[in-house]
Amino acid sequence: MKYVYESYDIDQFIGGVTEYPGLYSAPHSQISSQISQLAEIQKILQQICTVQQYSRHRLLQDVSAINIERTTMMR
């Protein structure tokens, strides 16, 4: 019994197709390029998170410095 998924024969994903040898090599290369693109996106997202954490840290430092100044001025 054959299953069809998005017009591809399901056997090509498990390497079972011998009648159409060119079929399962194309999706494999497509999948590997998508994986490398996802890895690049992950790096960018990590950099953004690092910048946001640093900005938050600096903002908290500034707020606490302002609070210290305000407390000192009120005395």
How would you write the pLDDT of the chain (75 residues) with one tens digit per residue?
444 444 555 555 555 445 555 555 556 677 788 888 999 999 999 999 898 888 888 988 988 888 888 888 776
Q: Which residues contact 15 (CB under 8 A, 6 or more apart)?
A: 24
| pLDDT at residue 3, as a whole number | 46
Q: Which residues contact 20 (CB under 8 A, 6 or more apart)?
A: 9, 12
Nearest to 64 by CA among 75, 52, 56, 74: 56
Phi, psi of 15 (to 5 degrees): 75, 25
Domain definitions of the chain by residue range: 4-74
The pTM score is 0.46
| pLDDT at residue 69, as a whole number | 83
Residue with tokens 């005395």: 75
User: What is the rounded distance in angstroms from the CA atom of residue 22 to the CA atom of residue 63?
Assistant: 62
